[in-house]
Every structure is written in C-alpha cells, then in structure tokens.
Amino acid sequence: MTKRTAQDDRIRDLVIVGGGTAGWMAAAALARFIRNGYTRIRLIESEEIGTVGVGEATIPPIRGFLQLLRIDENEFLRATRGTFKLGIEFVDWTRPGHRYLHPFGAFGADIEGVPFHQFFLKFRQMEAAADIESYSLTAQAALHGRFAVPRGNAFPLNQWAYAYQFDAIRVAGFLRSYAEKLGVRRTEGRVTEVSLQGSEGFIESLTLESGERVEGDFFIDCSGFRSLLLGKTLRVRFEDWAQWLPCDRAVAVASSDPAPPRPYTRSTARRAGWQWNIPLQHRTGNGYVYSHHEISDDEAAATLLANIEGEPLGAPRHLSFRTGRRKQFWKQNCLALGLAAGFLEPLESTAIHLVQAGIAKFIALFPGKHPNAVEIAEYNRLMAAAYEQIRDFLVLHYHATERDDSNLWKYCRNMSIPDSLRHKIELFSARGRCFRYDDDLFSLTSWVAVLLGQGIWPAAYDETANSMTDDQLREVLEKMRGTIEQTARKMPLQQDYIDFHCKAGESV
Ligand SMILES: Cc1cc2nc3c(=O)[nH]c(=O)nc-3n(C[C@H](O)[C@H](O)[C@H](O)COP(=O)(O)OP(=O)(O)OC[C@H]3O[C@@H](n4cnc5c(N)ncnc54)[C@H](O)[C@@H]3O)c2cc1C
C-alpha cells in the first residue's frame, strides 16, 4: 500500500458560498495567503438572494486586515465612501439625558505599571475631577470632529487608535475585485443542493440552479443567516443567547448628511432597543435594533424616521435575527464565517471583526483535505471564546442601566447574567481591577469606559495609586489633560483630512 503524504492531502478546490462581506473578505485573504500555486478558490453567490447590506462600523483591528492584504487605506476609503471612527458615543443608555464615549486607544498613561484609571479614581475621590474622556486623545479629537493619522510615538499620540465607517456594499465590491485579480473565480448562481460523501458527513459537491455541479475539497459557508452548509446541511445546532441579548429585529435606512460627518458612531438607547448613526462621506447609515416583544415593526420604523438627521434616502428595510452562535464553527470539511457562524448585535461593531478573526485562525490552522480533529477543536475553542467575550461586553451595556421605561429595560436590569460577566463586574466594583483574559478583544480602556459609563463606580481605588501625593497627582493629571486637549485641537478637522487624502468622487 502506498503511503499518503502531506502533499497528496493538499486542498485543490476550496469553495466559498456567499459573496457578502464575509465571503469576499475570506476570498481576498485566502487568495493573498494561500499562494501555493495549487489551491484554486471559487466563490459562488446569488445576486437574486443578495446580501444583508448592513455592517458599516468597525473596530481598530480592521486596519490590520487592510495592512496584511497590502491595501492602501486612502484608496479603500475613497472606494467605500469611508470615514474614520474614533469610538462610539452611548446616549441615554445609563439613563435618559446621560451620555458617554467608548473611545478607541487608551485613557491617559499608566504610571510605573499602575493603570491610569486607578489614579483617575483616586483623583476623583480627592476632588471634582474632569470626566475620564478628558484623558483620551481619541475622545477629545472625536468630540471636536478632528482626525489625523499621527506621526510620532510620544504621549499622547501613542494612545491613538482608529477604525473605519464604510458602505458595506462597496466593501464587498472592493474586495471582490481584489480577490478576482489574485485569481479567485466567481460564479453567479443559487446553490440548490448540497451532497455529502459517504457516512462521515464530508461535503462533496454543490449543485446550482443551472444544474452545474461544483465539487470541492473544502467549503466555507458565508451564506449569511441561512447557514446553508454548516447549519442546514451539517445540522450544527444554534446556541441561542436571547435571554441576555433580547433584541431580535432591526430596521435600517440611509439618510443625507446634514453636516460634515462625525468621526465616531453614535448609539442612542430607546424604549425598545437602540438606534445607530454611522456617518459616511456621502450619507449616514441609521438603524433601530429592537425587541419585537416591545414594539411592532411599523412603530420601530416610525421611531427611526422621526429620529434621523437629514432626509431619508429610500424606504426603511426590515431585518430579523437570532443572537447566538453555532455550537461548532468548523465541522468536517466545512467552516462557517459571518452570519452563517453566529450573530451578535452590532452595538460594539464586532461582526466584521469576528469574520476577520475567523479567517486569521483558519489560515493559521489551514488544513489538508482530511482536517485533523485537534485542529478543528482548537479553532472551535478559540472562536467560541471570542464570541463569548464579546457577548459579555454587550450584555454589560444592557444590564448596568438605570432605565426602567419599558419591559425590555426592566428585564435587562434584573436578568441573570453570565457568570464570567458577573465576576468581571464584581471585581471592578470592589477596587477597579480589570484583567484581560485569553486574548479578549476589548482592552482595559474599553471595559473601563463602559463600566464607568454605565455607572459602575468602584468602592475604592487600588492601593498602588497612593504612590503619589495628592499634589503630585493633581499636577500629573492636569498636565496629561492639557497635553491631550492641545494635541486634539491641533489636528485637522476630519472633513479637511478626508478632502485632502481620501475623498470619494462625485459618482454614486
Ligand atoms: C442590523 C445589522 C447591523 C449590522 N451592523 C454591523 C456593524 O455596524 N458592524 C459590523 O461589523 N457588522 C455589522 N453587522 C453584521 C454584518 O452585516 C455582517 O457580519 C457582514 O455583513 C457579513 O455578512 P455575511 O457576508 O455573513 O452575510 P450576507 O451579507 O447575508 O451574505 C450572504 C451571501 O450568501 C449568498 N447566498 C445565500 N444563500 C445562497 C445560495 N443558496 N446560493 C448562493 N448564494 C447564496 C448571498 O447571495 C450573499 O452573497 C450588522 C448586521 C445586522 C443584521
């Protein structure tokens, strides 16, 4: 008997089903990184089915995706009508009339290994200190509508981080032409049948509506909420998280930009959920995420239309979703990415990041035709942790609130939360301690911003913050605040930055 070698086991045909953001991100990245001269990548999508068409706000790791693919940031933003995002403003979440910003980057600077927020907590106990936002360069730049790609790495520029807000449909188009240039073959058509091989449950081929049969060694399911391969065919069950994240509908509408776009996303809590506002170069994306138990679809659309700046561009679009994740993301020779893998509502703009994280981990564990059980298990373990950490962060926003103006908010205030989140809140409530576990996506700044923003103030600060006298502390913090304020004010207005570097053409 001849021995099978690793070379014989190589994937020849890799088939992606779906051409939304997930499908084209996967195609682009795989075409860039699996350049063995052997593996062929093919993507099947159906224009008739279309894509979800939302997904416009991102978080800073997206920049790493562009850099790895050697995509020029300005070219990308020009093509996708993109703007810069420095954080998310949360309005009326803690209580009506209240606001706070979750900025990217860091608050202040740590001093001799002691996290900045501990000094801030001490200062606040000493006297009426400024808001923690005053110690964030990104927050100050955001609130003044300013943006630049900083040169230099000294404080406070070393605390800077940013992401993008873009037109989702244009992103898929941009990545499609990138991937096609690298040899990805696109097929237009609807998959109507999926055939399995033998008793092991490996996918063998897909049949299109045209009758064409597409064989493959490995399949990536990017078919959106349908989860055609992983969910429907391989019957991987869905773990529902509605008990913690009860919103299950959204209505979206674009509107004209009334003013220069803001360099941040806004999330405004409403009776039945919350409303997003994502300013792009040529329009603003708006949407109301809500629980259908609380209001009807018509009421949601009316509330959305009554609360947009500018004029609506078209009729509102309704979407329904289930929050949670597939029990496994990779089974046999099939991996799911994007909405086919799971869904966490867009409160912290994390879905595209999860696609990116899934692609990166898949490339790191790139299999042969007969994937190893241990590699599959590792992928599933890592991705399950990524989904759960984000889930906890989202649940924090809903749970730590004083709102009680609807059944939704009353429920969320009193619901039992995941143990992992309860632990985090209790630890922070005591002395402001917060640790990052297992590659948690969210940094200390993110957790501190939302914990304090949602009104969870620690009973005491850490003893290590007593390393400075009160006078020293006042001087250091005031200096930091002043430097941040001056640096932010010296930056160009975002609109001027865009006009100079990445303004999109007039054509629609
Ligand atoms: C209301 C809402 C707001 C969101 N906001 C954000 C945000 O601000 N930031 C963020 O990061 N994410 C956001 N997301 C998530 C984001 O939109 C998705 O993660 C992202 O667009 C990826 O979607 P997808 O490619 O998985 O699915 P889709 O865009 O639905 O694409 C599915 C693809 O599969 C194809 N397909 C399906 N069935 C078949 C078939 N039988 N044959 C052939 N092709 C088929 C379709 O034609 C399509 O090309 C949001 C999602 C929702 C619902």
pLDDT in tens, 317-332: 999 999 999 999 999 9
Distance 226 CA to ligand 1 centre (A): 10
Confidence of residue 258 (pLDDT cuts 50, 70, 90): confident
Of the candidates 103, 110, 129, the residue with the CA atom closest to the CA atom of residue 457? 129
Query: Is it the case that residue 127 has pLDDT exceeding 90?
Result: no
Strand-pair category, 284-290 with 99-103? unpaired
Q: Is the pLDDT of residue 374 over 50?
A: yes
Please tell me the residue having the least CA distance from ligand 1 atom 7: 55
Percent of the chain clearing pLDDT 70 (strictly above): 98
Mean of pLDDT over the chain:
95
Strand partners, 250: 289, 319
CA-closest residue to ligand 1 atom 1: 250
Cα of 222 from ligand 1 centre, angstroms: 8
Check residue 53 and give its pLDDT.
Answer: 87
Q: From ligand 1's centre to the CA of 50, what distance in Å?
A: 9
| d(C-alpha 364, C-alpha 359), whole Å | 9
Distance (Å, whole) CA 435 – CA 455: 19
Model confidence at 215: pLDDT above 70: yes
Q: How far is the CA of 68 from the centre of ligand 1 (A)?
A: 23
pLDDT exceeds cutoff 50 at 508: no
Q: Which atom of ligand 1 is nearest to the CA of 189?
A: 43
Give the residue numbers marked as catalytic.
85
396 burial class (0-12, 13-18, 19+ CB within 10 angstroms)? buried
* Ligand 1 pocket: which of 44, 188, 191, 223 to mutate (most atoms within 8 A of CB): 223
Which residue has its alpha carbon closest to ligand 1 atom 31?
20
Q: Which residues contact 221 (CB under 8 A, 6 or more apart)?
A: 17, 18, 227, 228, 229, 230, 231, 334, 335, 336, 337, 340, 341
Torsion sign across C-alpha atoms 390, 360, 102, 311: negative
Among 24, 25, 42, 45, residue to substitute to test ligand 1 (most atoms within 8 Å of Cβ): 45
**Which two structure tokens, joined as six digits, stand for 323?**
């929050």
What is the pLDDT at residue 2?
Answer: 52
d(C-alpha 412, C-alpha 401), whole Å: 8
Is residue 6 very low, low, confident or very high in pLDDT (cuts 50, 70, 90)?
A: low
- Amino acid (one-letter) located at 462: D
CA of 22 to the centre of ligand 1 (A): 7
**Cα(20) to centroid(ligand 1), Å:** 5
**What DSSP character marks residue 211?**
S
Alpha helices by DSSP H, listed for 213-367, are 297-306, 351-364
* Tokens, residue 1: 């008997």
Which 8-state DSSP code applies to residue 225? G
C-beta separation of 222 from 18 below 8 A: yes
Over residues 261-292, the pLDDT tens digits come to 999 999 999 999 999 999 999 999 999 999 99
Q: Which residues line ligand 1 (CB under 6 A)?
A: 17-23, 44-46, 49-52, 54-58, 168, 190-191, 222-224, 226, 228, 250, 287, 319, 321, 338-340, 346, 349, 351-352
Atom of ligand 1 nearest to the CA of 265: 8
Q: Count CA within 13 A, CB hemisphere, residue 460.
A: 5
Mean local confidence (pLDDT), 387-411 = 97
Residue 57 alpha carbon to ligand 1 centre in Å: 14
Give the residue with greater pLDDT, 129 vs 359: 359
Atom of ligand 1 nearest to the CA of 17: 44
**Ligand 1: which residue has its CA nearest to atom 16?**
55
Look up the pTM and report it: 0.96
For ligand 1, what atom is nearest to the CA of residue 224? 27
DSSP letter at 232?
A: I
Tell which atom from ligand 1 comes closest to the C-alpha of 59: 11
53 CA closest ligand 1 atom index: 29
Question: How many angstroms is it from 276 CA to the middle of ligand 1?
Answer: 18
Task: For tokens 């609109």, name the residue.
Answer: 495
The radius of gyration of the chain's CA atoms, rounded to the nearest angstrom, is 24
- Supply the residue whose CA is at minimum distance from atom 37 of ligand 1: 223
Top mutation candidate among 15, 17, 54 for ligand 1, by most atoms within 8 Å of CB = 54
Q: What is the mean pLDDT of the segment spanning 452-475? A: 96
Taking 80 as the threshold, does the pLDDT of residue 454 lie above it?
yes
* Maximum C-alpha span of the chain: 81
- Euclidean distance between CA atoms 157 and 176, whole angstroms: 35
